[in-house]
Amino acid sequence: MRILVVEDEPVLSDQVSASLRFAGYAVDVARDGPQAYALGDVNAYDAVILDLGLPGMDGLTVLGRWRRAGRAMPVLILTARDSWHDKVEGIDAGADDYLAKPFRMEELLARVRAIVRRAAGRATPELVCGPVCLDTRSGRVSCAGLPVALTAHEHRLLAYLMHHADRVVSRSELVEHIYAEEADRDSNTVEVFVSRLRRKLGAAIITTVRGTGYRLECPS
């Protein structure tokens, strides 16, 4: 799960991105409008946290341009402008949720989890696939009721697969969603993570679809 944080205030931006990283997300940061637009236009994010008062290009303009270009990732507006007039304007521009400053970090994390889940068409915060259970609130993973310890990358990869359990996910898509912009990418490492997950959760849980990618197997 990969997230773009757009916030021009450096301290707040650091706090938000640190909390998101701590919660297991890969995080990219943009400090102004044009940079935010460019990042969101080329990368596949699972969610965007967008401030409205940005240097260079206003947040609503950035959002409007993404939507017109067909970028459909869930966007949470995080702003000091908390009037309902602004909220209506933000939602009309294509935002999925609206959180006003001051906010509590737990609230922000809960909202991000909710919009990611909603965008993937999942209704409950607990994602279940066969014996494997991922609680998106705590980030805990269990297999047949027993807790399983995962590294950050394994966790992101599993979370992405569980949010999209109904389809085949390509290797490049996984790379896009588990690494932040500045990280060293190597699509071969995806294979390494998948094999480690198989070892921890059972070999049958992830099947390789030859030439296409991976699919989570959820016996119902």
Partner 1 sequence: VKAPASLRVRLLAAGVLWGCGALAAGSAVAAILVRRHLGGDLAGSPPTPRGSIDRWFLAHATLTIWTLGSAAAGLLAFGLSAMRGSVAALDRLRARMVPLRSGLATRLTGEYPTEIQPLVDDLNVLLAARDEAVTRAREEAGTLAHALKTPLSAIANEVSAAHGAPGGKAAGEAWHVVIGEQVRRMQGTVGVHLARARAAAGGRVGARADVRSTLTALRRALARLHPDREISVAGDGNGASPAFRGDRQDLEEMLGNLLDNACEWSTSRVQVSAILTGDRLLLDVDDDGPGLDSAARRQVLAHGTRLGADAPGAGLGLAIVRDVAALYGGGLTLAASPLGGLRARLDLPAAARGPST
Secondary structure (DSSP) of 55-99 = SSS-HHHHHHHHHHTT----EEEEES---HHHHHHHHHTT-SEEE
Is the CB of 75 or the CB of 216 nearer to partner 1?
75
Residues 111-170 that bind partner 1 (CB under 8 A): 118
47-50 and 97-100: which strand pairing?
unpaired
Is the CB of 21 or the CB of 81 nearer to partner 1?
81
Q: What share of the chain is helix, strand, coil (3-state, %, to 5)?
A: 45, 20, 35
Note whether 92 binds partner 1 by CB under 8 A. yes
Note whether 110 binds partner 1 by CB under 8 A. no
Spatial distance between the Cα atoms of 135 and 45, rounded to a whole number of angstroms: 21
Amino acid at 203: A
CA distances from 183 to 71, 78, 84, 91 (A): 23, 26, 39, 32
Amino acid at 190: V
Is the CB of 38 or the CB of 80 nearer to partner 1?
80
> In this chain, which of 88, 144, 152, 209 binds partner 1, going by CB under 8 A?
88
The residue written with tokens 């950035």 in the block is 62
Nearest distance from C-beta of residue 10 to partner 1, angstroms? 9
Nearest distance from C-beta of residue 130 to partner 1, angstroms? 27
Residues 6-35 that bind partner 1 (CB under 8 A): 9, 11-12, 15
Is the CB of 27 or the CB of 133 nearer to partner 1?
27
Note whether 208 binds partner 1 by CB under 8 A. no
Nearest distance from C-beta of residue 135 to partner 1, angstroms? 20
Note whether 83 binds partner 1 by CB under 8 A. yes
Note whether 91 binds partner 1 by CB under 8 A. yes
Spatial distance between the Cα atoms of 72 and 189, rounded to a whole number of angstroms: 28
Binding site for partner 1 (CB under 8 A): 9, 11-12, 15, 53, 79-85, 87-88, 90-92, 95-98, 101-105, 107, 118
